[in-house]
Structure 1
Amino acid sequence: MAEKQQREGTSVASLLAMPFLTIGNTKIVLWKGDITTLEVDAIVNAANHQMLGCFQPGHKCIDNAIHNRAGVQLRRDCNTIMEIQGHDEAAGQAKITRGYHLPARYVIHTVGPVVSGIVQEADRATLASSYRSVLDISQKVSGIDSLALCSISTGVYGYPIEQATPIAIQETVEWIKANPNKLNSVVFNVFSDRDYAVYQSLLEEFVCQQ
């Protein structure tokens, strides 16, 4: 019973009542809130190269939030993965772990690009790779039908939200079109009103172009 109480969160079914758009059988939703409360099959964590979570107490990053709610077992899983791998996680790749005390059953970890100054073509390519890797690995575990995507690299990694969002949308939509019937729902998760407005504007633009 205690485990069930720890896993209670925001039902994705309530969000899907009004999807932003639908591609094939996949509903795409834009939602502002705490990703650690979402009852989806998998959520995405914007991780660091060590893949062991954020070690700054109280730091307001998604990595810290996810590890804090999931519990110490998540860090142990990540540590096992890194010991087997034998080197830091490269940017643009993805790994999957269990979600433990999160409402989500799985966490998909990816390291996005760090941007300092002007966004370079290599940054765009790495960010696109992160989204593709996340989507690809979501299908390597049976039963992942719903996925919540955070806005990778737009926090402490410094990627401007206005430039990151078109890549997030494009890569996700292209993947869904190339992989029909693989995911029932995708949630674009943001934390601020400003980020929501950026996603909303670009998604509306995309819908108008269809």
Structure 2
Amino acid sequence: MTREEKIDWLIQYLKKENAGYAAIQEPVNLVEKRRLLRSLMNVRWPMEASDKFYEIQDALLKEELAEKGIVDADSLPTVAEQYPEAELRNPDRICLWQGDITRLRADAIVNAANSEMLGCFVPCHGCIDNAIHSAAGIQLRNECAELMEAQGKEEPVGKAKITGGYNLPAKHVIHTVGPIVGLQVTRQQEEELRSCYLNCLRLAEKNQLSSIAFCCISTGEFHFPNKLAAKIAVENVDKYLMKSGIKRVIFNVFKDEDYHLYTKKFLGTGDF
């Protein structure tokens, strides 16, 4: 099947699952078709699909990943190599990388989830939760739903759960719920963000993972100030590594602002 044939087949399958989708007009443009498919996947409630669906979905996602290009976490330069003057205790085990976290091949990437822990249901939303679930495939939401059903309640802020990575190059996804900030950050919210990083690291170590890539937890839709978030992230990860067997931690940033903030934090500049 061509890429367009795969997309068409998957759209038809998802439309047949819900009688209300019959009126959806299918675009003729390939880009818009792909956007429709992502939207249908985003809003789909967790449930199993046919073997044929998984086969075609997985083939499409792997094809798209190959085009984007996989970035091997072990090949990234460390802070010690990039910034020899860095004021860290473990600069040889920490990396800073700017890019799409769904391209990273690591033992685990961290997802900034919400308390329902089922991924973002807003079609084609720009949050990292949506990006990770869209690239992993519907299997990720299904596994998250199983975990949450077994737990029987929403995920508390600061805790973490681990799942498979499915069609991501990362072996696992560690999901954590960060604090939602209002007018200003409270001491409790600072502690909750600290707990996000520490519980992700503990979970990685418990599962004998060697590498973990953190996104900028809570700084997007949850409005945690970027500078304070970078300070909490770097200081707590660096301290944890003093007694940990984790070999590599990647701070994955997407915005230029965060890249510069992490760099300043490493170097001890920028009034942190």
Aligned-residue offset at 1:13:
3.0
Amino acid at match of 2:108: A
In 1, the alpha carbon distance for the partners of 2:229 and 2:149 equals 31
* Residue pairs, 1:189-208, within 5 angstroms: 189-205=252-268
1:158 corresponds to which of 223, 226, 238: 223
Aligned-residue offset at 1:118:
1.0
Task: Identify which range, 20-29 or 195-204, moves more after superposition.
Answer: 20-29
Amino acid at match of 2:94: I
Residue 163 to residue 23, structure 1, CA distance change in 2 (3 Å): closer
Deviations 1:74-126 (A, max 9, x none): 00000000000000000000000000000000000000000001110000010
Aligned-residue offset at 1:174:
1.0
Contact 2:178-2:218 within 8 A present in 1 as well: yes
Root-mean-square deviation (Å): 2.1
Aligned-residue offset at 1:178:
2.2
In 2, the alpha carbon distance for the partners of 1:201 and 1:23 equals 15
The reply to whether residue 171 of structure 1 matches residue 236 of structure 2 is: yes
In 2, the alpha carbon distance for the partners of 1:202 and 1:19 equals 14
In 2, the alpha carbon distance for the partners of 1:80 and 1:138 equals 20
Contact 2:164-2:171 within 8 A present in 1 as well: yes
1:183 corresponds to which of 246, 254, 264: 246
Partner residue, 1:13 = 74
Q: TM-score, normalised by structure 2?
A: 0.70
Partner residue, 1:133 = 199
Partner residue, 1:145 = 210
Runs of 4+ displaced beyond 6 Å:
none
Sequence identity, in percent?
44
Partner residue, 1:39 = 105
Amino acid at match of 2:114: N
Partner residue, 1:51 = 117
Amino acid at match of 1:16: P
Amino acid at match of 1:174: K
Aligned-residue offset at 1:58:
1.3
- Aligned pair count reads 203
Q: TM-score, normalised by structure 1?
A: 0.90
Higher relative contact order (CA 8 A, sep 6+): 1
Contact 2:93-2:249 within 8 A present in 1 as well: yes
Contact 2:112-2:176 within 8 A present in 1 as well: yes
Unaligned runs of 5+ in 1: none
* Residue pairs, 1:95-106, within 5 angstroms: 95-106=161-172
In 2, the alpha carbon distance for the partners of 1:19 and 1:98 equals 31
Unaligned runs of 5+ in 2: 1-57
1:83 corresponds to which of 142, 146, 149: 149
Structure with a larger share of its residues in strand: 1
Rg (Cα) greater in structure: 2
1:109 corresponds to which of 172, 175, 187: 175
Helix, strand or coil at the partner of 2:257: helix
